[in-house]
Amino acid sequence: MQLSRIRLILVIGFWILPQLAAAQGLEKVQADFTKYEYRIPMRDGKKLFTAVYVPKDDSQTYPMLMKRTPYNVKPYGVDQYPSELGPSPLFAKDGYIFVYQDVRGRWMSEGEMVNMRPHLPKKGPQDIDESTDTWDTIDWLVKRVPHNNGKVGQWGVSYPGFYTAAGMIDAHPALKAASPQAPINDWFVGDDWHHNGAIMLPHFFNFMSKFGRPRPEPTKKFDHPFDYDTPDGYNFFLQMGPLSNANTKYFKDDVAFWNEALKHETYDDYWKAKNLRPHLKNIKPAVLTVGGWFDAENLFGALETYKSVEANSPGASNSIVMGPWLHGGWSKSDGDSLGDIRFNAKTGAYYREQIEFPFFQFHLKGKGDGKFPEAWMFETGTNQWRKYDTWPPKTAKPKTLYFHPNGKLALQAADSSAAGDYDEYVSDPAKPVPFIDKTVIGMAPEYMCSDQRFAGRRTDVLTYTTEVLTSDVTLVGKIGAELLVSTSGTDSDWIVKLIDVYPDDYPDLSPNPTGVKMGGYQQLVRGDVFRGKFRNSFEKPEPFKPIQPTAINFAIPDINHTFRPGHRIMVQVQSTWFPLVDRNPQTFVNIPTAKATDFQKATQRVYYSTDRPSRLTVLQIGE
């Protein structure tokens, strides 16, 4: 097949995962369950298509497990069955009623689809949001589905995770347990399409090129493949040029949400209305939020959903699980490796058997003792599970990692008498720093723990490294990036990466997932971007004054990682991360409407003397 004719049909998020584990089997599902299809009326009269699978053994009653999704509830037809049901095969074996629903305006459901439909704190009799649609669905089901015990659980990964989180607000009394997994909760500050105001370009473009096409009426077929004509995402997005070219070259006004989103470059009322966090209060169902440390899509969402429920619903049963997973990796895969990195355990199976299944069993069937820790956290580096009463742990103490001359990183600030008090580099939007050292068309999920040696060799990346560690250093919780910077331009992005540098004599793993030699490996532990114009406010961007030192402070999502003896801690700073992050023109303009001539080189400086320290603030367990 010629490369120019390759049609790359993107599989978004966890859709690919069913290929990674053996299914229950079509014949088993057909033998054990009876399928029903309903069109459940909502309070405004719209009907939502819902598939329900009821155990054929009618000698007992069963709780219901529900997933509401924009992705489809195929196969359609009462005689058509899927090859597996539930979050894992454990549930079908033990006996549950499974409910799958096309959300409003998607696939076979009536109504209009609104991306991350805003929650309405005050509602009239026919006002709807995802909370009311969930309430109306549950109320209808518990009154009509045969052999149900009146208890409902809800789960979902990614977008279905958002619907789960929204459904536990003002919840129906029958909803006893909810597990939002990699849920979306803020599309401007940290989830999916934006990180701190910067656009996550291949993820946003690739997803919307398929998902964002219009659906004029209920349908069973809704496939929109996109032809890239190349496997090289770096080249594809560089050749695309400014963001505005995405619509003129490819979407042709057929992807409404792309154009709508780009009209809102700041954190205005449009984006604030889609922020679910303020509404996660007075939560009644038991909550188990799940996320992956290497989830390139909704790491922020998992952490922030847990923290919002914890802060706004102090009496709620609220737990969090974070494993060494990519997006949705806990639901089907073994979870024993990602990219070049091994975790030396089948973490996915552990989660499904020891955490997820017991959670729903207790709250929906009353089985087990219900003694769950506040937080199950997989500690990368040492590769072991930890259980904590709070997250982050109360025993964690603040530490600071300061930048020094000559690329050093230390716990003390640099001496102001040192020769020179800044490092500098030239950032060129025409030759941006790649986000991964391989050819990919999309947002390769393994970038979250990939080798950074290729980046450190570039002249437009600054590197700061500690001495060799003599004991374990375990960092937990958020990372605070506190930089003093300047630019010769009037806007700039600042990317900060925390890296675990392996010893040069680190033994080769046998078998290594990719065959890469691990000696001297620079494993990305956490990295994020901040769009500099938003340094004082996401609502009101401000230009930089050229060459004037300016503070940039932002939070980088949580970690739970141990840097082992013989390793070193590294920080890299750069201003491009392409095509993962869209290019900043480095001039103060509206980036979605920027022209090619707006993109300019800029000289960037990072300061580190005693009176102008750049640093990372961290939390450390132990000494």
Looking at residue 255, which CATH number applies to its domain?
Answer: 1.10.3020.10
Long-range pairs of 311-316 with CB within 8 A, sequence gap ≥ 24: 312/278, 312/280, 312/281, 312/282, 312/283, 313/280, 313/281, 313/282, 313/283, 316/283, 316/284, 316/286, 316/287
Tokens 């209305």 belong to which residue?
273
pLDDT of residue 23: 56
Q: Which domain holds residue 265?
A: 3-10+196-273
Residue 123 lies in a domain: yes
**Same domain for 615 and 534?**
yes
Q: DSSP string of 151-213?
A: EEEEEEESHHHHHHHHHTTT--TTEEEEEEES----TTTTSTTEETTEE-HHHHHHHHHHHTS
**Which among 273, 303, 318 is the end of a domain?**
273
Q: How confident is the model at residue 223 (pLDDT cuts 50, 70, 90)?
A: confident
Residue 191 lies in a domain: no
Task: Say which DSSP state 278 is in.
Answer: G
Task: Say which DSSP state 606 is in.
Answer: E
Q: What is the mean pLDDT of residues 462-468?
A: 98
**Same domain for 102 and 217?**
no
Residue 513 predicted with pLDDT over 80? no
Residue 190 lies in a domain: no
Residue 7 predicted with pLDDT over 70? no
Q: How confident is the model at residue 416 (pLDDT cuts 50, 70, 90)?
A: low
**Which among 273, 296, 330 is the end of a domain?**
273
pLDDT of residue 365: 98
Domain holding 365: CATH number? 3.40.50.1820
- Among the residue ranges 448-452, 544-548, 619-623, the one predicted with the least confidence is 619-623
**Same domain for 254 and 299?**
no
Q: Would you tell me how many other CB atoms lie within 10 Å of the CB of residue 366?
A: 11
Tell me how long the chain is. Answer: 623
The pTM assigned to this predicted structure is: 0.94
pLDDT of residue 609: 87
Residue 530 lies in a domain: yes
pLDDT of residue 510: 64
**Same domain for 609 and 478?**
yes
Q: How many domains does the chain have?
A: 3
Residue 406 lies in a domain: yes
pLDDT digits (tens, 9 = 90+) for 238-276: 999 999 999 999 999 999 999 999 999 999 999 999 999
Strand order in the sheet with 148-157: 33-41, 47-55, 97-102, 62-69, 148-157, 175-181, 286-292, 318-323, 375-379, 384-388
Residue 494 predicted with pLDDT over 90? yes
**Same domain for 110 and 255?**
no
pLDDT digits (tens, 9 = 90+) for 162-202: 999 999 999 999 999 999 999 999 999 999 999 999 999 99
Residue 545 lies in a domain: yes
Report CA-CA distances (Å) from 372 to 49, 90, 315, 321, 345. 35, 19, 15, 11, 21
Task: Determine the 3-state secondary structure of 374 from DSSP.
Answer: coil
Residue 15 predicted with pLDDT over 70? no
**Same domain for 403 and 548?**
yes
**Same domain for 348 and 401?**
no
pLDDT of residue 509: 72
Q: What does pLDDT average to over the chain?
A: 94
pLDDT of residue 417: 62
Residue 14 predicted with pLDDT over 60? no
**Same domain for 220 and 365?**
no
Residue 87 lies in a domain: yes
Distance CA 618, CA 616 (A): 6
pLDDT of residue 17: 38
Q: What is the mean pLDDT of residues 584-610?
A: 97
**Same domain for 147 and 219?**
no
Residue 21 predicted with pLDDT over 80? no
Domain holding 538: CATH number? 2.60.120.260
Q: How confident is the model at residue 9 (pLDDT cuts 50, 70, 90)?
A: very low
Q: What percent of the chain has pLDDT over 90?
A: 90
Residue 16 predicted with pLDDT over 90? no
pLDDT digits (tens, 9 = 90+) for 115-173: 999 999 999 999 999 999 999 999 999 999 999 999 999 999 999 999 999 999 999 99
Among candidate residues 164, 161, 261, 156, the one with its CA nearest the CA of residue 208: 261
Among candidate residues 337, 332, 326, the one with its CA nearest the CA of residue 348: 332
Distance CA 151, CA 142 (A): 8
Q: CB–CB of 320/161 below 8 Å?
A: no
**Same domain for 306 and 438?**
no
Q: CB–CB of 523/530 below 8 Å?
A: no
Q: Tell me the Cα Rg of the chain.
A: 25
**Same domain for 604 and 482?**
yes
pLDDT of residue 157: 98
pLDDT of residue 12: 36
Among candidate residues 155, 270, 262, 257, the one with its CA nearest the CA of residue 207: 257
Report CA-CA distances (Å) from 103 to 114, 144, 338, 387, 482. 10, 20, 32, 35, 42
pLDDT of residue 13: 39
Q: CB–CB of 313/281 below 8 Å?
A: yes
Residue 513 lies in a domain: yes
Tell me the one-letter amino acid at 339.
G
Handedness of CA 84, 89, 93, 98 (dihedral sign): negative
Among candidate residues 463, 473, 493, the one with its CA nearest the CA of residue 571: 463
**Same domain for 212 and 170?**
no
**Which among 249, 273, 297 is the end of a domain?**
273
